[in-house]
Structure 1
């Protein structure tokens, strides 16, 4: 009798281990999680799933807005130049030295932090952005929202967008400024349950190229499994803008984050600093910047770029010079290697359109927005949710049977 009961308990435990949430069958071999995901409390509205995904990319000197539609196409909405306060703030963040998260703060520093928090709350109570810097970000986002609403012909203001930021050093605080700006504007920053940092320009550009994305994003668990099985790619990225130049050398798998990377944002080398008579010296500095970042990455791992991400508002004006400079940098990093697939910018972008270089990160951000809208937030939707949507076969015996089992009827 005891043995029989023990066997029953073991069989019951095995059955539970193959169920997600409240009774949805799963294959344990395909589940990388230690614990099953909970069942979502509500269903995602179909209107939200099919709504356009709005992505806003904040660069050092400007902002971009793009939209991903339900039919898979993109709309490049607008570029808006930033005001001087925003530009000064972003340049400061680009050169800011990250603090050691483990260091001890003095009582004066703690007092200063608390006073800043009080001032931030007071500004919000007065109907202002938490900080002047957040206000400059809000101004840029607001201008892009207005352009997007006009483009889409919306009667009501947008309430949720995905945001991406330029490449900045790790641990440089930027999140609270974005959140304060969004709070002031009354919008929600879209994200997924496993996105723990702001989207960055090179990750968004990687997504816009079709890399690092799961196929079944509306199934959180399946997407999570697909993410763990994506093939990593070594990436060289150059964001070439009037106000700044950033270089990225990384190993990417999921478009949201990198496995290993090195990068730098250099406002002093923006295209605006290129003057008549110093062209040769300028492009040598750009080449040396790419080489220096690449050498550090080579020390970290056996990095050999197979994907190139070129973007920025100044690329079209200097495509030939930039192509030559990138090629020379690669030749210095990999002398004698004739098999690198990056000999020409056109190789990386065989289907390049006129807005490709400028809107690449904004398109990727819009891609994420579309996915975040239609993906459950860290849970699994019930079978009723899936069966009651347009196009679902409600009379399908298999689905109907699973619903009855799940509901216990």
Structure 2
């Protein structure tokens, strides 16, 4: 990855958009005279409209402005990182601030249409929910809106909104948009300002990334996932939970190459992830390269999904409860039993994972396939075994959104296509001292 320069930034429209917040424009820098002579008492920063006293010579120094244009503005660099998690049955939102504080913002249950969509995307064979009878208008034009993630689909959804037609009655994209919008509103309330960038963790199932990205676009939100060849093009819940528990995080994340060098180890990392909610069980295994989290290549090696084994269904079933709990135990052991490598991490997440009988069933299933717990096994299961290293407790309902917020916060500090020079940190420190600003991500 090359060092950031003005020319390098021009090559990336996304990067140019990022640094445009609170900074002078590139054309201004091109026209600067090295012998610039300012006779007025103040100058105006074009982006912030701040009256800057001329005696603050650092604001008017040509080289400083050139360096500033090749670095991220504090309007972006110091902004909160917003992370969403779209699970199989609900969504959560978390915010991570520049000072390290993490706030769990919202937990929103998916509506029946959302659950139905997740079943279809995951290939669940059960009959889907019966939708309300469609009008002739819907039957004729549905092909332009249903599951349409193209620009035409975005236009069609916009027209429906202008006409006042109900959002959830049309496409998969709008079903996701409805939940994302609730998370967006909760996050904006928390940080007291609008934002336009977010990292979204999802189950690693087919087609979901395309639908989520189209839904984000409808809400005028950009994604930190898939925006650069150097960073993840999809963001699995397992990877987000792995990071949220403090695993695989490099200390020098501002430099991708140095970050990778921190994990230059042949030792394999194999993470068994278990998600459990009121409506679904989802298990997967990821094998992060050299144990590093939040990289381009961390996706599920294997996975199992079951909407019949959600906690609500197990508690509502009378005569066959024991059979269902036995089936749950079998599902929990299937992936580890068939996986050819030893597990190094066992991580759990979800709103129902702390239910006592589920935890007991999970422990029994793991004891069956791993009678002797590996010496270096790491987990977030409370009281799993004496030999395992248990990570610091994290709210399991929000674990993935916390990981997504952590990823978003880190991405706020780095440019997508180049590495900032050592001068950038000093420039940002000067901005913090001299510019009375309030972050506005728009």
Same fold (TM over 0.5): yes
1:283 aligns with 2:325: yes
1:351 aligns with 2:351: no
Alpha-carbon deviations, 1:173-222, whole Å to 9, x = none? 12221121111101111136323432111110000011122211122332
The CA deviation at 1:374 is 1.0
The CA deviation at 1:323 is 2.5
Alpha-carbon deviations, 1:83-138, whole Å to 9, x = none? 222211111111269xxxxxxxxxxxxxx99x965862651563668971111111
- Partners of 2:298 and 2:210 lie apart in 1 by 22
Residue 174 of structure 1 aligns with which residue? 208
- Aligned counterpart for 1:273 among listed residues 304, 313, 317: 313
Summarize the alignment of residues 84-95 of structure 1 with structure 2, pairs less than 5 Å apart.
84-95=112-123
Give the unaligned 5+ runs of structure 1: 1-18, 24-38, 98-111, 393-409
Counterparts in 2 of 1:82 and 1:271: CA distance versus 1, 3 Å: same
Please say if residues 323 and 345 of structure 1, whose CA atoms lie closer than 8 Å, have aligned partners that are also in contact. Answer: no
Counterparts in 2 of 1:340 and 1:210: CA distance versus 1, 3 Å: closer
- Aligned counterpart for 1:134 among listed residues 160, 173, 177: 173
Counterparts in 2 of 1:338 and 1:45: CA distance versus 1, 3 Å: closer
Residue 107 of structure 1 aligns with which residue? none
Structure 1 residue matching 2:333: 3-state secondary structure: helix
- Aligned counterpart for 2:108 among listed residues 58, 80, 93: 80
- Partners of 2:108 and 2:2 lie apart in 1 by 46
- Aligned counterpart for 2:99 among listed residues 38, 58, 71: 71
Summarize the alignment of residues 103-252 of structure 1 with structure 2, pairs less than 5 Å apart.
120=153, 122-123=155-156, 126=159, 132-154=171-193, 157-168=194-205, 172-191=206-225, 193=228, 194-226=230-262, 228-229=264-265, 232-252=268-288
Alpha-carbon deviations, 1:156-187, whole Å to 9, x = none? x211111111242xxx1122211211111011
Q: Which moved more, 1:270-279 or 1:363-372?
A: 270-279
Give TM-score, length-normalised by structure 2: 0.67
Residue 33 of structure 2 aligns with which residue? none
Residue 313 of structure 1 aligns with which residue? 351
Residue 404 of structure 1 aligns with which residue? none
Aligned residues: 332
Please say if residues 52 and 370 of structure 1, whose CA atoms lie closer than 8 Å, have aligned partners that are also in contact. Answer: yes
Give the unaligned 5+ runs of structure 2: 6-66, 126-142, 162-166, 432-442
- Aligned counterpart for 1:371 among listed residues 410, 415, 421: 410
Please say if residues 250 and 297 of structure 1, whose CA atoms lie closer than 8 Å, have aligned partners that are also in contact. Answer: no
Please say if residues 40 and 381 of structure 1, whose CA atoms lie closer than 8 Å, have aligned partners that are also in contact. Answer: no
- Partners of 1:343 and 1:179 lie apart in 2 by 31
- Partners of 1:339 and 1:331 lie apart in 2 by 14
Structure 2 residue matching 1:199: 3-state secondary structure: coil
The CA deviation at 1:51 is 1.3
Please say if residues 65 and 76 of structure 1, whose CA atoms lie closer than 8 Å, have aligned partners that are also in contact. Answer: yes
Structure 1 residue matching 2:351: 3-state secondary structure: coil
The CA deviation at 1:55 is 0.3
The CA deviation at 1:388 is 1.5
- Partners of 2:350 and 2:406 lie apart in 1 by 18
Please say if residues 204 and 237 of structure 2, whose CA atoms lie closer than 8 Å, have aligned partners that are also in contact. Answer: yes
- Partners of 1:225 and 1:382 lie apart in 2 by 19
The CA deviation at 1:364 is 0.4
Please say if residues 208 and 361 of structure 1, whose CA atoms lie closer than 8 Å, have aligned partners that are also in contact. Answer: yes
